[in-house]
Structure 1
Amino acid sequence: MSLLVVGLSHRSAPVSILERASLPADTQAKLLQDSLAAEPAAEATVLATCNRIELYADVDKFHAGVAELSTLLAQHSGVGLDELTPYLYVHYEDRAVHHLFSVACGLDSMVVGEGQVLGQIKDALALGQELHTAGRLLNDLFQQALRVGKRAHSETGIDRAGQSLVTFGLEQLAQDTAVETWARGKRALVIGAGSMSSLAAATLARAGVAEIVVANRTLARAERLAEILAEPGGTGVTARAAEMVAVGDELRRADVVVSCTGATGLVLTGDAVAAAAEGRDEPLYLLDLAMPRDIDAAVHRIPGARLVDIESLADASADAPMAADVDQVRSIVSDEVAAFGAAQRAAHITPTVVALRTMAADVVASEVARLEGRLPGLDDKQRAEITQTVRRVVDKLLHAPTVRVKQLASEPGGAGYADALRTLFDLDPETVASVSRADLNDADVKNRGRV
């Protein structure tokens, strides 16, 4: 295993850099394809959220891998390498596994304990599988990260350590008032119809807003979300869809606005918000969850408007209290990292053990055939008994060393045992490689159906 992750997040980079470095879906696909075309990477997938961009790869050379992945991130993000490099972090092998498991558990999130990142990890794996850039290592890693994240949320109270970014943002808007009290009876405008916007709309509906207007570039998606919100079996709130061209009019009627789109430019300008906020008895509340930002940062200075965006959320969450459950989650992560490393090291030697047993079976078959040539009078029963006896002898001779070598290989520093086994028994490298390819193909077929 030579797992490498190169990335940047809200912990390493200012919001201004994260905004510029955001990766649209088509850019993510091109980044993965170019990563595999680069010599050091055999597998790759990208985890891109509103506050992190991370490129995961299986590399054969550490320094060359870091240089190549950093260059590719710079090229596809549009931020120059010299400017981007100070904000990049690098994790390798077990540290990379530890990092992803921590991310999956919400320990590295802007709001500790939030669970939305699990869906984003699932999407990252699905993209790698769809493009065939995620092989056995990344399939195993991301599948296990999802299981570790779910375990952390089910076995601990990490959810109490923080809330989802949506809930936390709404709490920041409400300040010292409960969200349910603050939101009751308000008219809400939700801009965007993706997963984050849908979650915001559902959260507002449960909090008791009177009406939700969903605006989206694709009207059909806005209509579908509005239908779901208004269904009797859903939230039951009054909801309708609007085209993006109507956002200005809807803004003037709204009390609270949540925006999270994939737009590369501003969706709401300072002038538009200033016009909508003028003359109100209560502030116009705006929550910007997009990266890059949807709402002009100048809104922070507009009288009659209160804006909470990714940057202000980062400042607020830095002071959020940590729950005692965080220590328990960290313990889970450490245990799972050790188990994953042991499993990967053990799996690394499996093709060699399989090749050894294949070679032994070939030797048995050859010797039995030679014996039949020298003793042509053997009947079927005698031949079967001799064959079975030889096989048992070989199995008994191989059992202890192959079991022990798997145990040794699973321990830290055990990677060299596979090389030693190949050398001692003069195993054909191509035979070992063919077993590895067969295992990889089987794993790929299985994992594509598990996401």
Structure 2
Amino acid sequence: MAVASSSLTGGSFNLSSTSCSTSSSPSLDCFRHQLSFFGSRRRIKPLVYWTRSHSLSPKCELSSNSVVKNGKKESRTSSLSALELLKTSAADRYTKESSSIMVIGLNIHTAPVEVREKVSIPEAQWPQAIRELCSLNHIEEAAVLSTCNRIEIYVLALAQNRGIKEVTEWMSKFSGVPVTELCQHRFLLYNQDATQHLFEVAAGLDSLVLGEGQILAQVKQVVKNGQGVPGFGRKISELFKRAITTGKRVRTETNISSGSVSVSSAAVELALLKLPEYSSSMARVLIVGAGKMGKLVIRHLAAKGCKKMVVINRTEDRVAAIREELMDADIVYKPFSELLACAAQADVIFTCTASKAPLFIKESVQALPSVDSEDGCRRLFIDISVPRNVEPSVAEVEGADVYNVDDLKEVVEVNKEDRLRKKMEAETIIAEEVKQFEALKDSLETVPTIKKLRAYAERIRSAEVDKCLSKMGDDIPQHKKKAIYDLSLGIVNKLLHGPMQHLKCDGAENRTLSEILENMHALNRIFGLDTEMSVLEEKVRAKIEQNQKQSS
């Protein structure tokens, strides 16, 4: 099933009446499994959190209109808020949780290409995906990283289990892949583990080809596409910016990129491995798509001695630019209308487009003439697109061989030991960057305290001003009212200046993170800020009310 059949607009749901039950609780074995996972931190394995008798995550019947009290079931009005229902079922702990950075994803290590292509999200739809994800009750910020090797959704969640459930259901809604199947292939990481994973991705350590450069450019695109999008918030934005910095450091300070290959160059190497040595220089080559991947394929082919190739693309501009760059190569442009005619004349066909539907299907390939070769050479389809451009059943056609991105491991295994040594060098840099980001992330925890303290002072100021004005009568001139207001505001600002300065984390005062956090906890105790509605509770209430308005 291609991504084209799904709709992002249909991916958002109203969770104000979603059925989710807190009465379910995970088994002891389940918690042991989670503990063992985080102890070993082997994140490339799909996780199973619940036994078969439990659902994917705890449920809370948000639409329920009855409650058990003193052993009897009593009816409750439908206007009872979901938040109050959560509180009746041990939500005290829930509202005290701090926001978590999480990644829910499928990659080349956990899911085959036939699953990844269904869940992949085209780059043009990343902003809309962020907006839809952040409309979910427990998702505050989000980002999408979707490439040929991975689909990873990074979120700032107000509650871990509920966040996982909502994002997984959204992915299922968007892709058409059942939740049960997604859970078989997904991986989940939280907080520091999620940070380290993204930094390793940006550094090229989690790629099929160690140190490949294209993934760093794709991480940069996440930040570029997220600019100005509601939901691509401060923490997620800082996470990706720091990942870019890490990726650059690893490539600058180590030699991890030297001699490494990209997916495109690995595809060219695979083609050369499959072609008879004496015919590789004479092979007739067709490249479908002249985007980033296609351009790299053409470059690597030219470097390997292939001087004549046909390139099919929607427009000729990109092909002309490549032709100017590679003056020694004979590059012929053809429009998509001549796809099958060009394929009939080709021995090797590379497909690397963003098409959501297959370009080559079994019936069309069967109609192509056999490869004209006395050495028994077969027609090779090297498909490095996700979603795939070549239908899997094409491999059943006599004289045709089909390879996709998951088949490139044969090329990548070369010089494995050397790459492992380079990886160890990179991991030292990544550990430093993770530590720095975690300190930055912790320092942002003072922001809610700053907001709560200012709101606390504002409530007192406003109440006292109203009390003063009511005693002075109704005939007070407007300029006098303004003077009283300005006076009260000035007093509050001067009183708050000292505490606020001790909560700032901009480095201007040279305070350590531990000092700043200690000040935060002290102010929370002194002014009783923790006894008020928690920030998370406020956010959840606002989300639920917003969704209820949209559904009414």
- Residue 186 of structure 1 contacts residue 210 of structure 1 at CA under 8 Å; is this kept in 2? no
Q: Report if the CA contact (8 A) 1:32-1:44 is conserved.
A: yes
For residues 77 and 122 of structure 1, the distance between their equivalents in structure 2, rounded to whole angstroms, comes to 25
Answer with 337-346 or 201-210: which moved more. Answer: 201-210
Change (3 A) 1:176 1:23: closer
* 2:371 aligned residue (268, 272, 278): 278
Q: Deviations over 1:143-171 (max 9, x none)?
A: 11111111111211212474100111211
1:51-450 map, 5 Å: 51-160=149-258, 162-175=260-273, 184=281, 186-216=283-313, 218=314, 220=315, 223-231=316-324, 233-273=325-365, 275-281=368-374, 282-302=377-397, 304-314=399-409, 317=412, 321-322=416-417, 323=419, 324-349=421-446, 406-408=512-514, 418-424=520-526
Q: Secondary structure of 1:175's partner? A: helix
- The answer to whether the 8 A contact 1:189-1:258 is kept is yes
Superposed displacement of residue 256, structure 1: 2.5
Sort the Cα spacing of 1:236 and 1:172 in 2 relative to 1 into closer, same or farther, 3 A: same
Count of paired positions: 390
Q: Give the drift of 1:301.
A: 5.0
Distance in 1, matches of 2:274 and 2:359, equals 29
Deviation at 1:406, TM superposition (A): 3.7
d(CA) in 1 for partners of 2:523, 2:410: 55
Aligned residues with identical type, % of pairs: 28
Distance 1:260 1:302 in 2: 21
Matched residue type, 1:287:
I
Letter in 2 for 1:87: H
Please, which runs of 5 or more residues in structure 2 have no aligned partner? 1-98, 458-493, 536-552
Q: SS of the residue aligned with 1:50? A: coil
Listed one character per residue, the Cα deviations across residues 171-224 of structure 1 (whole Å, up to 9, x for unaligned) are 122129999x986454421112322122212222333322232213x3x2xx01
Contact 1:262 1:290 in 2 (8 A): yes
More helix by share: 1
Q: Aligned in 2, Cα 1:423/1:51: closer, same or farther, shift over 3 Å?
A: same
One-letter amino acid matched to 1:407:
L
Whether the 8 Å contact between 2:123 and 2:146 is mirrored in structure 1 is no
2:10 maps to: none
Post-superposition CA distance 1:267-321 (Å, at most 9, x none): 1234544534433244433311011221233444555444331231246546761
State the distance in 1 between where 2:322 and 2:452 align. Answer: 58
Q: Which of 141, 148, 154 is the aligned partner of 1:50? A: 148
Q: 1:317 to 1:207 in 2, by over 3 A?
A: closer
Aligned residues of 1:346 and 1:406 also touching (Cα < 8 A): no
Please report the TM-score for the alignment, with normalisation by the length of structure 2: 0.62
Displacement of 1:140: 0.9
**Kept after mapping to 1: 8 A contact 2:290/2:319:** no
Q: Secondary structure at the match of 2:223?
A: helix
1:158 aligned partner, one-letter code: I
CA contact (8 A) 1:115 1:164 kept: yes
Where 2:445 maps in the other structure, the secondary structure is helix
Superposed CA deviations along residues 244-273 of structure 1, whole A, max 9, x for unmatched, are: 221111112223221012223321234544
Deviation at 1:99, TM superposition (A): 0.7
- Quick check: 1:227–1:240 contact (8 Å CA) kept in 2? no
Structure 1's 428 and 264: CA in aligned 2 closer, same or farther, altered over 3 A? Answer: closer
TM-score, length-scaled by structure 1: 0.75
The alignment partner of 1:97 has SS state of helix
> Structure 1 residues 78 and 316, CA, compared in 2 at 3 Å: closer, same or farther?
farther
Contact kept? 2:288, 2:349, Cα under 8 Å: yes
Query: What is the alpha-carbon root mean square deviation over aligned residues?
Result: 3.8
